[in-house]
Structure 1
Amino acid sequence: MIGRILNILNKYSLLELISYALYSGYLLSLQWIGTFFFRLKVIFWNIQIGKSSKVTGKFLFFKYPGSKISIGDNFTSISHSSRAMATSLFSPTCIKTLSDSSEILIGNGVGLNGTSITARSRSIKIGDHVMIAANVTIMDSDFHVVFPPQGRLTNPGYEYDANIEIGENVWIGTRCTILKGVSIGKNSVIAAGSIVSKSIPANVVAGGIPAKVIRALETTKKGSNKK
C-alpha cells in the first residue's frame, strides 16, 4: 500500500491530487443533493420509481392528475454542467404528462442528460438500458394542427398525437429530437443532432434530418454488438 501511494505521488503533483480530490467531493455532493430533492419530488407527484436512482442537477416533474409516470431501477440523470462529460447542458431534465390519458414509462438502467420528455395524451415508453445524451427532446405531439394555418393557435389537434417507443439498449446522441409516432428498435444508435420523424429498425446506426438508416450494426448470434 505504501509503495502504491509513493508511486502515485511520484506520478502526479500534490496540487493535482488535492484538486482532483476536492472536485470529486464536489461532484458527490451535487449528486447527493440532486438525488435527495428528486426523491422528494417523486413523493410529491406520486410517481413510481425503482431502487438506486442517482440524480445530479435539477430535475423537473409535472404530472397531470390520472396520468402515469414510472421509472425503473438504477436510473440516472445528469443536468449539471460540472458533471457533463463532453458537452454543455441547456436545461434541467424535465418529464411532463399533460392529460389523464398520457403516460411515460422508463425502464431499468436508463440514463438521461438534460432530457425533455413530454407526453401530452399518449404513451412514451423507454426500454431498459437506454442511454440518452445531452439536450434531447422527446414529445408525442405537434401541439398544434399543421393546416390550415389559421387554426394553429386555436386547434390543439389531440387526434394527431401518437405513441413513442424506444427499445432496449438504444443510444441517442446529443441534441436529437424524437417526434410523435416513432419507434426505435433495440440496440440502435441515433447520431447527434438528428431529428427522428419516422421509425428506425433494430441494430442500426441512423442519423440526419430526417433520420435515416446509415448502416447496420454487426451482431453476434446472441445479438450483442461487435466492435
Structure 2
Amino acid sequence: MFNLLKTEIKKWLFKRRLKQIRQYITAGNSLFWQQFDLVLVKPEPGKKYLQVGDDTVLDCRVVFETSAGRVIVGNNTFIGSSTIICRSKIEFENDIFVAWGTCFYDHDSHSVDYRHREADIRQQLIDHRNNRNFIENKNWDVVNSKPIKICSNAWIGMNCIILKGVTIGEGAIVGAGSVVTKDVAPWTVVGGNPAKMLKELPENLRKK
C-alpha cells in the first residue's frame, strides 16, 4: 500500500512539474517520461527552448544555462535518462537512440585562464549567498561554446560524454563509456577515451 501511494505521489509531482515547464516546449505527440525535466537558469518569457517532433520519447534532463540556448529533437527518437546541457544549440535529427547516463555538453563551462575561473568562484559565492542560482551572473564571454549535432539513425550507448562542436554522422554508433571530442563519420562504430573509429558498418547495414 505504501509503495503504491509513493508511486502515485511521484506521478502527481511529475505531472505538476511538466505543466509548469510546458510553456517553454513545443512538441507534437511525443511522450515525456518521469525522469524528464527542463531546467532554465535565466528563462526568457515566451521563448520555446525545447522543440520536439512526433513519436519521440524523452526521459532526460535538459539544462539551459543561458537564455540563448536551444535544443531540437526530431521524430521517432528515444533519449534515456541522460543530461543535455546547452548554452548555444544541440540538435538531434530523427530515429536516434540514446541510452542512459550520457551527457551532452556544448561548452567548456570555464575559461582556460585561471584568473577567469577564480572570478567564477567569487561570483558563484555572491549569487549563492543572495539566494540566486549560482551561475545566474556567470561571465560567459570567456567560455568557448560550439553546437552539437546528432544525425539521423545514430545510436549512442550508455555513459558517454559528447563534447562541444561534435557532429555524430548518420547511422554512427558510439560505444558505451566513450568520450567524443571530434566528429564521428557516418556509418562507423567508435569507442574509447577519446573515442576513435573501431570499424565501418557494412553496406547492408546502411540506410539507402
Shorter chain as denominator, the TM-score bin is: 0.7 to 0.9
8 Å CA contact retained: 2:191, 2:197: yes
Change (3 A) 1:39 1:151: closer
Structure showing greater relative contact order (alpha-carbon pairs closer than 8 Å, 6 or more residues apart): 2
Compute the displacement of 1:42 (Å).
4.3
8 Å CA contact retained: 1:169, 1:187: yes
Task: Describe the SS at the equivalent of 1:205.
Answer: strand
Matches within 5 A, 1:78-97: 78=59, 93-97=60-64
Compute the displacement of 1:153 (Å).
3.5
Which residue in 1 is equivalent to 2:95?
Answer: 129
2:197 maps to 1:224: no
Which residue in 1 is equivalent to 2:65?
Answer: 98
Equivalent in 56, 64, 71 of residue 75 of structure 1: 56
Change (3 A) 1:51 1:158: farther
Q: Cα deviation per residue 1:17-37 (whole Å; 9 max; x = unaligned)?
A: xxxxxxxxxxxx899769845
Change (3 A) 1:38 1:128: farther
Compute the displacement of 1:158 (Å).
4.8
Task: Describe the SS at the equivalent of 1:152.
Answer: helix
Change (3 A) 1:37 1:192: farther
2:118 maps to 1:142: no
Equivalent in 166, 176, 179 of residue 150 of structure 2: 166
Alignment length (residue pairs) = 180
8 Å CA contact retained: 1:67, 1:100: no
Equivalent in 12, 27, 30 of residue 49 of structure 1: 27
Matched residue type, 2:53: G
Residues in 1 aligned to 2:49 and 2:11: alpha-carbon distance in whole angstroms: 26
Unaligned runs of 5+ in 2: 1-7, 120-138
Task: Describe the SS at the equivalent of 1:151.
Answer: helix
Between the aligned residues of both structures, percent identity stands at 25
8 Å CA contact retained: 2:148, 2:165: yes
Residues in 1 aligned to 2:105 and 2:31: alpha-carbon distance in whole angstroms: 23
Q: Cα deviation per residue 1:157-195 (whole Å; 9 max; x = unaligned)?
A: 555100100000110000000000110001000000000
Change (3 A) 1:52 1:70: closer
Which residue in 1 is equivalent to 2:37?
Answer: 60
Equivalent in 203, 208, 211 of residue 187 of structure 2: 203
Compute the displacement of 1:60 (Å).
1.4
Residues in 2 aligned to 1:181 and 1:107: alpha-carbon distance in whole angstroms: 19
Task: Describe the SS at the equivalent of 1:51.
Answer: coil
TM-score by length of 1: 0.70
Change (3 A) 1:39 1:60: closer
Which residue in 1 is equivalent to 2:4?
Answer: none
Compute the displacement of 1:103 (Å).
0.6
RMSD: 2.8
Residues in 1 aligned to 2:11 and 2:55: alpha-carbon distance in whole angstroms: 15
Residues in 2 aligned to 1:33 and 1:134: alpha-carbon distance in whole angstroms: 24
Q: Cα deviation per residue 1:181-217 (whole Å; 9 max; x = unaligned)?
A: 1100010000000000111110000011011111001
Matches within 5 A, 1:22-37: 36=15
TM-score by length of 2: 0.75
Change (3 A) 1:190 1:139: same
Change (3 A) 1:95 1:150: same
